Structure 1
Amino acid sequence: MARKHKFDTVAIHAGQAFDPTTGAVIPPIYQTSTFVQESIGELRGGYEYSRGGNPTRTALETLLAALEGGKHGLSFASGLAAEDTLLRAILSPGDHIVLGNDVYGGTHRLIERVHGPWGVRNTTVEMSDLRAVEQAIIPGETKVLWVETPSNPLMKISDIAELADIGHRAGLVVVVDNTFASPALQHPLAHGADVVVHSTTKYLGGHSDVLGGALIINDDELAEKARFLQFAAGPVSAPLDAWLTIRGIKTLSVRMDRHCSNAQAIAEHLDRHPAISAVYYPGLPGHPGHELAKQQMSGFGGMISIAFAGGAKAARKFAESMTLFQLAESLGGVESLVNYPSEMTHASVRGTALEVPDNVVRLSVGIEDIADLIDDLDRALPRK
């Protein structure tokens, strides 16, 4: 794109030049494993084999970098594949990671149970306690500060700029998982982060029909290491998956507007219900991260978690009683979902410092009519 455009324009046009052969407005899916060479070692457009590069994936990677305001975008088969590649690009046995005490269970499982046996250690800490973060850093050994904001599932808001400053003073790579906010609402690189991670399965894809992950990196050397691992280990997104993600991104901004407005209405509705002891949503003035979220986000997102006064029994019954809110893992699609983290997305962290209380239910608020969603919730809630 020749000049700087606004976010909504970038989401539709970055990396999306029309097909020069036919004039097709939407670039085609290059559903191929390999590419014919002009001669030995003389490649057409730089493409040789789809694990190393594919025009559809290139289009997505260009778009991802543009959305986050970064230099390098890399697309992967899943969010965890992206995370694993990044960790291996940075860490060696004996290194140490500091991460939040409310991160996605799969992230903690990857670090603790996959990288742990190879000698990578980790410490979980309350990211809102900046002093505790500083104390958790081991000089010469800690290499990564891993931030997730809003966090999954308790919707904690972390100060990206302050944490980036702490991390950089200690020589760390500061990584922000921006999945819950999406680049429509938050730009971690602009607040000082070094790397942004996404599960593109969620809001970027937006339709619950594709798996994917992404890294957006500004540092050339780190990007080169990650891209080598992307090629050498092969955790790449397939052409159709990349194309579906591109298609989803084109409507990201308008979808996020509805996700945010629906979630705000639902959070305010639930906040008054006597059966609910807590509503975790940064759009509520009583949320401890409300003011910070207003500063570093342009909207509060579509994710809500709620705690039931009646404990696990009440939470489980609620999660199993709705119709429009379907009981399923994942989030960020156009349809509303309900999840019981203790035994679903965060089952792997039970018994650890990251254990999710068993009276908590997580809602991924979709873009359906708000009156229908509230009616569905009211039918499942305990009677007042």
Structure 2
Amino acid sequence: MSTTKFETDAIRTQMDRSEFLEHSTPLHLTSSFIFEDAEDMRASFAEEKERNIYSRFTNPNTSEFVEKICKLEGAQSGYAFATGMAAVFSTFAALLNAGDHIVSARSVFGSTNTLFTKFLPKWNIETSYFKVDQIHCIEDIIQPNTKILFVESPTNPAVDILDLELLGKIAKKHQLIFIVDNCFATPYLQNPIKFGADLVIHSATKLIDGQGRVLGGITVGNTDLIREIYLFSRNTGPALSPFNAWILSKSLETLGVRVDRHCENALKVAEFLEANGKVNFVKYPFLKSHPQYELAKKQMRQGGNIVAFEVKGGVEAGRQFLNNLRMLSLSANLGDTRSIATHPASTTHSKLNEAERLQTGISDGLVRISVGLEHIDDITADLKQALESV
């Protein structure tokens, strides 16, 4: 466990300097590494020594990024991926066998749901779901072949909060691997391992990068589980590129100050929307009206940058609101410096049918705002004029 603070670890965790004594970590844009002699090569491939062999396995830039996230999450080990979904898929593919079973919260990212419903069943791996407000039902759907308990918290896009400590206890009781997608919170706001998670997954494309530049993903946690994920991934090739790892590692140096402002802006946006007569409801973890407000305060340091709300008037009113926006971007991404508005029912979760969307808290008129770093007055002014025209 690190003795220094989050911000210091994010900045001062650095790979060994070269003979040039560079202050900022250099890029290592190489596909492979050379060996001193035949014995060095043999011993390296036999894993009798720790060293870089091939950048699909490890690279100094990816190793630095992984080490930072491990420190920030309180994890033992990790592996970095080309995208967040590469991290999700590879984690499940590495740990599951044909005939295994997953228990998952119903509210998960659209592509994760597609993985569970379309692709894993091809290998006879099935998933049972529970609603986020019905954790007490989990033990009823655990089967003898259940191997993994998976959740997101906060959820995408309805920002529901799940009790990670309770879930950790259930997983331990039934000897399940407890995996948490921590993308919305980042290591700065929440550390699921403290509540019993075995593995934590991030789409680093989002707040960890924070500027909409590169793709990346990472899984960190228990050493033995990461070993299985590493062996699967070094043979199947979903590795993070050294350049993207360098970007993401540098991005972590400003994660704390960026997320502080994201959260400050998001709370003000949530309060503004809640007071607006054109809005049916607003959900934000640190808004006192949120159903799991007290739980959010227990698990998270701040509420994150995602605000979900519904415009009065249904689908057409929601679309009109989006079309009226002048500054906010219409994009399926989130966690950018730029504020982004998304209509989940027609974009990120469009593969779900209406009943499935409602079960995950996604009404047809739900809008998700990824609150950026623009001045709060400009963000709310754009929201105000867009709502007035609905």
CA distance in 2, matches of 1:264, 1:334: 16
Kindly provide the CA deviation profile for residues 278-322 of structure 1, in whole angstroms up to 9, marking residues without a partner as x: 101111111111000000100001001111220000111112221
| Aligned position for 1:135 | 140
CA distance in 1, matches of 2:310, 2:121: 32
CA distance in 2, matches of 1:351, 1:335: 30
Kindly provide the CA deviation profile for residues 72-123 of structure 1, in whole angstroms up to 9, marking residues without a partner as x: 0210001111111110122112211111121111111112111122111111
- Assess if the C-alpha contact under 8 Å between 2:345 and 2:357 holds in 1: no
- Assess if the C-alpha contact under 8 Å between 2:283 and 2:290 holds in 1: yes
Runs of 4+ in 1 over 4 A off after TM superposition: none
Residues 1:284 and 2:283 are matched in the alignment: no
Kindly state the Cα deviation for residue 351 of structure 1 after the two structures are TM-superposed.
Answer: 4.3
| Aligned position for 1:377 | 383
Paired amino acid for 2:323: E
- Assess if the C-alpha contact under 8 Å between 2:80 and 2:216 holds in 1: yes
| Aligned position for 2:368 | 362
| Aligned position for 2:180 | 176
Paired amino acid for 2:232: L
Name the SS of the counterpart of 2:356 in structure 1: coil
Match of 1:59 among 56, 64, 73: 64
Name the SS of the counterpart of 1:42 in structure 2: helix
Map 1:287-366 onto structure 2 (within 5 A): 287-351=290-354, 353-355=356-358, 356-366=362-372
| Aligned position for 2:47 | none
Identity %: 35
Name the SS of the counterpart of 1:381 in structure 2: helix
CA distance in 2, matches of 1:383, 1:81: 41
The two structures have a TM-score, normalised by structure 1, of 0.96
Name the SS of the counterpart of 2:10 in structure 1: helix
Where does the alignment leave 5 or more consecutive residues of structure 1 unmatched? none
- Assess if the C-alpha contact under 8 Å between 1:103 and 1:354 holds in 2: no
Name the SS of the counterpart of 2:324 in structure 1: coil
Name the SS of the counterpart of 1:22 in structure 2: coil
Paired amino acid for 1:314: A
Name the SS of the counterpart of 1:28 in structure 2: coil
Structure 1 or 2: larger helix share? 2
CA distance in 2, matches of 1:376, 1:55: 43
Kindly provide the CA deviation profile for residues 33-64 of structure 1, in whole angstroms up to 9, marking residues without a partner as x: 11121112515861221111111111111111
- Assess if the C-alpha contact under 8 Å between 2:324 and 2:389 holds in 1: no
CA distance in 2, matches of 1:120, 1:234: 22
Match of 1:153 among 143, 153, 157: 157
Name the SS of the counterpart of 1:377 in structure 2: helix
Match of 1:37 among 31, 35, 38: 35
Kindly provide the CA deviation profile for residues 125-145 of structure 1, in whole angstroms up to 9, marking residues without a partner as x: 11332211221211x211111
Where does the alignment leave 5 or more consecutive residues of structure 2 unmatched? 45-49
Kindly state the Cα deviation for residue 17 of structure 1 after the two structures are TM-superposed.
Answer: 4.2
CA distance in 1, matches of 2:369, 2:51: 44
Name the SS of the counterpart of 2:388 in structure 1: coil
Paired amino acid for 2:166: E
CA RMSD in angstroms, aligned pairs only: 1.5
Kindly provide the CA deviation profile for residues 263-284 of structure 1, in whole angstroms up to 9, marking residues without a partner as x: 0001000001111111011111
- Assess if the C-alpha contact under 8 Å between 2:6 and 2:188 holds in 1: yes
Match of 2:249 among 243, 246, 252: 246
Kindly state the Cα deviation for residue 235 of structure 1 after the two structures are TM-superposed.
Answer: 0.2
CA distance in 1, matches of 2:146, 2:193: 21
Match of 2:126 among 121, 133, 145: 121
Name the SS of the counterpart of 1:155 in structure 2: coil
CA distance in 1, matches of 2:237, 2:211: 25
- Assess if the C-alpha contact under 8 Å between 1:85 and 1:226 holds in 2: yes
Name the SS of the counterpart of 2:156 in structure 1: coil
Paired amino acid for 1:141: N
Name the SS of the counterpart of 1:184 in structure 2: helix
**Structure 1's 41 and 312: CA in aligned 2 closer, same or farther, altered over 3 A?**
farther
The two structures have a TM-score, normalised by structure 2, of 0.94
CA distance in 1, matches of 2:146, 2:90: 18
Residues 1:97 and 2:75 are matched in the alignment: no
Number of residue equivalences: 380
Match of 1:263 among 261, 266, 281: 266
Kindly provide the CA deviation profile for residues 146-195 of structure 1, in whole angstroms up to 9, marking residues without a partner as x: 11100001110000000110111111111111000111100000111111
- Assess if the C-alpha contact under 8 Å between 2:15 and 2:60 holds in 1: no
- Assess if the C-alpha contact under 8 Å between 1:18 and 1:25 holds in 2: no
Paired amino acid for 2:170: I
Kindly state the Cα deviation for residue 20 of structure 1 after the two structures are TM-superposed.
Answer: 3.0
Kindly state the Cα deviation for residue 18 of structure 1 after the two structures are TM-superposed.
Answer: 5.8
Paired amino acid for 1:236: A
| Aligned position for 1:28 | 26
**Structure 1's 146 and 189: CA in aligned 2 closer, same or farther, altered over 3 A?**
same
- Assess if the C-alpha contact under 8 Å between 1:128 and 1:159 holds in 2: no
Name the SS of the counterpart of 2:291 in structure 1: coil
Kindly state the Cα deviation for residue 24 of structure 1 after the two structures are TM-superposed.
Answer: 0.9
Name the SS of the counterpart of 1:347 in structure 2: coil
Residues 1:212 and 2:216 are matched in the alignment: yes
Name the SS of the counterpart of 2:201 in structure 1: strand
CA distance in 2, matches of 1:339, 1:74: 30
Name the SS of the counterpart of 1:133 in structure 2: helix
